Amino acid sequence: EVQLVESGGGLVQAGGSLRLSCAASGFTFDDYAIGWFRQAPGKEREGVSCVSSSDGSTYYADSVKGRFTIFSDNAKNTVYLQMNSLKPEDTAVYYCAAVGVWMTQALWGDYNTYDYWGQGTQVTVSS
């Protein structure tokens, strides 16, 4: 059974940092791409970042470039999202998702690309 479990969310002041974790099980981690998405109330789910576990390729939304970093620890089957310089507009529920395809720039940010999803973790940034 494929499972993705997010953790690390919380409440932080603007300018602060958080590190989200996505622990994966039930599939061969090296063959998958893991993405982070977020959804704020009343808004569509949007792609934040993605890492291809097979070759380490990474992708970022323009809104988080230079502030967020995605990286994976294949030995732990875990993907992390380091979020620095957080802004109130980063407030959302953050989800990780997985898919067993060779990820591309055209695909990574589309939530329909992914087969498996975690339950989400709340990130709240106060001003």
Q: What pLDDT digit, counting tens, does each position of 14-33 carry?
A: 999 999 999 999 988 778 99
The conformation of residue 23, written as its DSSP 8-state character, comes to E
Three-state SS for 74?
helix
pLDDT digits (tens, 9 = 90+) for 56-111: 899 999 999 999 999 999 899 999 999 999 999 999 999 999 998 788 888 999 99
* Separation between Cα atoms, residue 17 and residue 81, nearest integer Å: 10
HSE value, Cβ hemisphere, 13 Å, CA-based, for 76 = 10
Q: What is the pLDDT of residues 37-62, one digit of tens each?
A: 999 999 999 999 999 977 889 999 99
CA 24 to chain centre: 12
pLDDT at 74: 87
